[in-house]
Amino acid sequence: MVDLLLIALVFVAILFPFVVVPEILERAGYDPKGRLVRIVVWACFLILVLLPAALSGFLATVTSPVDWLILFFAIAFAMLWEYHRLHPGEFP
């Protein structure tokens, strides 16, 4: 039962920011591929992922600076990859 709940929460953490939030903002008149919407999407995703980790105390147990750098660069790479995918003509 716990495994099923965990899988459901992972789906929510991915689908809500990347599907529901852009749809809501598009209906409000914003471009779903625009910078503002992408910032809101990634902020929602990071809040849904990092807030429970911080509240449970897991983030406090990560003491290696290398682990933090890997996390930072992985998130930055994912954001830039998505932006490049949505705006292919802006980058050489």
**Per-residue pLDDT for the chain (92 aa), expressed as one digit of tens each?**
888 988 998 899 999 999 999 999 999 999 999 989 999 999 999 999 999 899 999 999 999 999 999 999 999 999 989 988 888 877 65
What is residue 92's predicted lDDT score, i.e. its pLDDT?
Answer: 56
Least Cα distance to 45 among 12, 82, 69, 73 occurs for 12
Asked if 79 and 42 touch (Cβ cutoff 8 Å), the reply is yes
d(CA 8, CA 69): 29
User: 23 in helix, strand or coil?
Assistant: helix
In angstroms and rounded to an integer, the radius of gyration of the C-alpha atoms of the chain is 15
CA atoms within 13 A of residue 46's CA, in its CB half-sphere: 13
